[in-house]
Amino acid sequence: MVGGKNKYMINGHTAQEQAVANMLQSVQLSINNPHFLIMQGKITQVLNMHPPEILAMIEEAAGTRMFEERKDKAQKTMSKKDKKIEEISAILTEEITPKLDKLRHEKQAYLEYQKVEIELDRLRRLVVAYDYTKCEESLNNSNSSMASGRARLDEMAVQLETIKAEIANIAKSKAKTEEKRRAEMSKSGEFKTLQAQIDELSKELVRIKTQSDLKTASIKEEQAAKSKLVASKGKFESELAKRATSFEKQMSKYTQEKQQYDEKAKDVTQLEELLQSLTTGVASDEGREGGFMQQLQEAKKEASEAATAIEQSKLRISLLKDESKEINGNLKKALKDNTGLLKEKESLEAQVASLDARINTHAFKPEAKRELGQQRAEIMSQIEAIDDRRRGMEAQMGNFDFQYQDPVRNFDRSKIKGLVAQLFNIEDKNKFAATALEITAGGRIYNVIVDDDETGALLLKNGGLRRRVTIIPLNKIAAQQLSPDVINFAKSLAPGRVDTALSLIGYPDDLEKAMAYVFGSTFVCKDPQTAEQMAFHKNIRKKAVTLEGDVYDPAGTMQGGAKPSSAGILNRLQALKNTRQQHAALRKELAAIDAQLAAIDELKDEYVQISRERDLAKHKLSLVEQQLSYSSHAHMTSRLESIASELAVQEDTIPDASARHTAAQKRAQTIEQEMGEFSQDKGGKIKQLKKRLTKLKEALPAAEKKMKECQRVTQEVTVEKEELESEISELVAQAEGSDSAIKAFEAERDEIEATLAQTKDELDDKQSAFSRLNKKLLVYDKDIAELDQLHRNKQSDQTTIQLESEQLAHELERSESAQGKNQRTLDALTKEHPWIMDQKLSFGQPDTPYDFIKNDPTQAKRHLRKLEDQFASMRKTTNTAVMTNIENVTKREAGLKQMLKTVIRDKRKIEETISSLDKYKVETLERTWKLVDKDFGAIFGELLPGNTSRLDMLEGEPLSAGLAIKVNLGGVWKHSLTELSGGQRSLIALSLILSLLQFKPAP
């Protein structure tokens, strides 16, 4: 201990504590086990050792103790290695691997980003090269087209000046001819007079026609009102008929109830009077006797009156029958006197019936003629309105008035079909494409279609054409139509957004070649994008026109902007065609009505004759009936009818009177019977009568109430019936008034129509006279008409040339604007992309990056737009430094994995060393134990003859658990060393020490 610290020295030299320990262990001495030197007096302490301590002494002797210490150090080192492995694994698992996975994903995204960037640059160069090429081609093409356009514009200006001069000359010639015509007209005053009379009659005719129409309308209104009245009357009559039965039932019920009540009231009154008379002897009514006698007299009087009525009726019946018999006897004689008149009456009635049947079945119907006349007037007004509209349209569409003269005699005009614009139709569902179709046709819309080239040559040579035309002969024209494959591919590329121009028009089958020549090679598209696809797609490349009129040509040119001045011409032409069709349809309908009216007029005379004959027959019949009414036969017949009615009344009276006579007799018998009962028992009879009176009085209020209720209901029913009858009467009166008004209107209308017919005849006469005078002016009118037609043709030519000139000027302006735009575009592209000048020669060349056939520019543009959006999105999320980061992390991962391999390898070597040491230790320890155990028993036997000892392993435990000392004294193995004496114990301990020293002596 020096300075508070342990200091170790070997051979006078300072050494470390571990070096001292290693030196001692090398000679089988352990500083941790102090028993390798046993002090005197301490030897017996060996016996107190535990089995592990005894084993430790064996290990010391065997020299394996040092192995245990080194094994402990190695295990501690292995623990450190395990911790290191855990640390490295945790770093790899929790930090390096996730980070590396993330960086690898980012690397993949970065590689995709680089790929997109490269493709984007390639597409940009391709699109720029294509735009540059197209601008350059458009610029070169526009120079040549502008030169030809300016030359054509100058030519048109010369043509316009020539046509203006011709129009002025035509106007001068027309003015001279009109002056001559006016001079001719002024020579004859009759012409002006007839003209004035015709004008006046025309106005009068219109006025009368208006009055007739008004009267007809009034008749229709009255007839409609009458129909409503008749319908209402029928409704009320039906309601009245429905209620008639219930009314009769109610009236019958009321009569029955009233009769029952009156009978009950009469019974009460008579019974009261009878009681008063019987009890007091005085009648209630002054001048009447009262009592049974009074009632008996009244009953007998009523029976007598009924019998008298029966006798009177029988007598009257007998007299009437005698009179009837007498009249019937004289009637035959009177009938013979009127036989002629009766036969004449029957004949006239048959004639009237026959004439009525003929009139009813006659084909001539005045109502039908009036309706046809109204229809004709309406159609004429429609034709006049359509004529005005058609003339206005034709004046505006003078360019499409194709005039020519027959090139040869008896020329078949069906060989010349007409202008293209007039030979096809646009259905209503396709009118949206009118502008596109007009742009598609262009100048070809004014071409003339003929059947063959010979007809075209004749027309050009001898047709007297007043303007230049292009002729399309059907036998020579070569039409270029779109192939079905191209059409199907185009429709699959843009479904619902593209159609062929030819499919949007209708035309006759024999004109298919001409229409295909005009429209067959063009697509009509709904939007510019589709049109661009149709024009520039490598599998299509056909001309396309949008609905707004923009043109996309596969040659690279595009036209558009403001609509041409002639825009809408096809719609106006279609409207003119529709107007002409309406005019033709109305003319056809008018001809049919005129034919019907002519057929009706042919039947009119016969109908009028039959009507006159019927009216005459009716008049004769009325005269005959009047004569017959004044004859004796008529008086006798009338008297017989009155006798028959009176006989019926008298015969109905007898049963009623008989019933009253029987009832009165029965009542008289009853009264006589009661009088007998009263004379026998006056008090009892009075009580009986009073009792019956009380019952009758009690029943009377109920009967009165029932009668009044029935009366109220009957009054209500009667009021309703009277109201319905009043309504029906009013409706009948109104209907009769309507009939009167209709007859008055019809009479006025017939009078007006007669005046109208007279005015028409007068107007026809005046117009015939006017026509005769007007023939002298036909020569001048013909010249004026020809000059007018020539003037219109020249104006049409002028308008056409002006329109073409304006259109050409607009096209030149657009071309100049497009040329400047293309030049600016080229300059901007060259400035923005300097590489263009180096690679310009490769643009459009095959097998180069700028091959526009293999690389479709249109698809490239669409792909470019998608990639630009994708690239912009990727640039926000892509880590551009991922390559550096992944390299660093990969290096670190490799270092950690190498370190992990090294640590695992060192650990494995340590484990192998420990395993070999453990094996060697066990073998050495077992060998040492056996040798020491043998020497231990031998030495103890020498020290204490006849006895032995040994070192045994613990029962059921391995050698490493420890060793126990076993002693055999006198042939008996002792269970414990405590059974030994002190000397024996010392000998045992000494024997063990000596056996250890004998195995390996201590230094």
Q: What is the pLDDT of residues 810-820, one digit of tens each?
A: 777 777 777 77
Question: Does position 295 have pLDDT exceeding 50, yes or no?
Answer: yes
Nearest to 8 by CA among 551, 984, 17: 17
User: Quick one: pLDDT band at residue 546, thresholds 50, 70, 90?
Assistant: very high
Question: Which helix H or strand E contains 498, and what residues bound it?
Answer: strand 498-500
User: Quick one: pLDDT band at residue 524, thresholds 50, 70, 90?
Assistant: very high
pLDDT tens-digit series, residues 298-354:
777 777 887 888 888 888 888 888 878 777 777 666 666 666 667 777 787 888 888
Give the model's pLDDT for residue 336.
Answer: 65
Sheet holding 416-419, edge to edge: 416-419, 448-450, 471-473
Question: Does position 714 have pLDDT exceeding 70, yes or no?
Answer: yes
Question: Does position 224 have pLDDT exceeding 60, yes or no?
Answer: yes
Q: How does DSSP assign 588-644, residue by residue?
A: HHHHHHHHHHHHHHHHHHHHHHHHHHHHHHHHHHHHHHHHHHTSHHHHHHHHHHHHH
Measured distance CA(972)–CA(969) in Å, rounded: 5
Give the model's pLDDT for residue 727.
Answer: 78
Q: How far is CA 121 from CA 200, 407, 649, 677, in A?
A: 89, 69, 128, 148
Percentage of the chain modeled with pLDDT above 90: 1
Question: Does position 757 have pLDDT exceeding 80, yes or no?
Answer: no
Question: Does position 1003 have pLDDT exceeding 50, yes or no?
Answer: no
Q: Are 794 and 166 in contact (CB under 8 A)?
A: yes
Handedness of CA 693, 698, 703, 704 (dihedral sign): positive
User: Quick one: pLDDT band at residue 127, thresholds 50, 70, 90?
Assistant: confident
Question: Does position 35 have pLDDT exceeding 50, yes or no?
Answer: no
Give the model's pLDDT for residue 610.
Answer: 76
Span 17-31, average pLDDT: 68
For the chain, how many helices (H) and strands (E)?
21, 13
Give the model's pLDDT for residue 544.
Answer: 92
Lowest-pLDDT range of 9-18, 670-679, 926-935: 670-679
Residue entry with tokens 């209630």: 284
Lowest-pLDDT range of 168-177, 467-476, 611-620: 611-620
Give the model's pLDDT for residue 499.
Answer: 92
User: Quick one: pLDDT band at residue 67, thresholds 50, 70, 90?
Assistant: low
Q: How does DSSP assign 25-71, residue by residue?
A: HHTT--TT-GGGS--TT-GGGGGG--HHHHHHHHHHHHT-HHHHHHH
User: Quick one: pLDDT band at residue 480, thresholds 50, 70, 90?
Assistant: confident
Question: Does position 785 have pLDDT exceeding 80, yes or no?
Answer: no
Give the model's pLDDT for residue 525.
Answer: 94
Instruction: Please compute Rg for the chain using Cα positions.
Output: 73
Measured distance CA(210)–CA(119) in Å, rounded: 85
pLDDT tens-digit series, residues 622-677:
777 776 666 666 667 777 788 888 888 888 888 887 887 887 788 777 777 767 76
pLDDT tens-digit series, residues 278-289:
666 544 444 444
pLDDT tens-digit series, residues 419-448:
888 888 888 888 888 888 888 888 888 889
Q: Which one is predicted more confidently, 898 or 279? A: 898
Lowest-pLDDT range of 403-417, 482-496, 892-906: 892-906
Question: Does position 249 have pLDDT exceeding 80, yes or no?
Answer: no
User: Quick one: pLDDT band at residue 210, thresholds 50, 70, 90?
Assistant: confident
Q: How confident is the prediction for the chain on average, in pLDDT?
A: 76
Q: Which one is predicted more confidently, 294 or 594? A: 594
Lowest-pLDDT range of 39-53, 275-289, 398-412, 501-515: 275-289
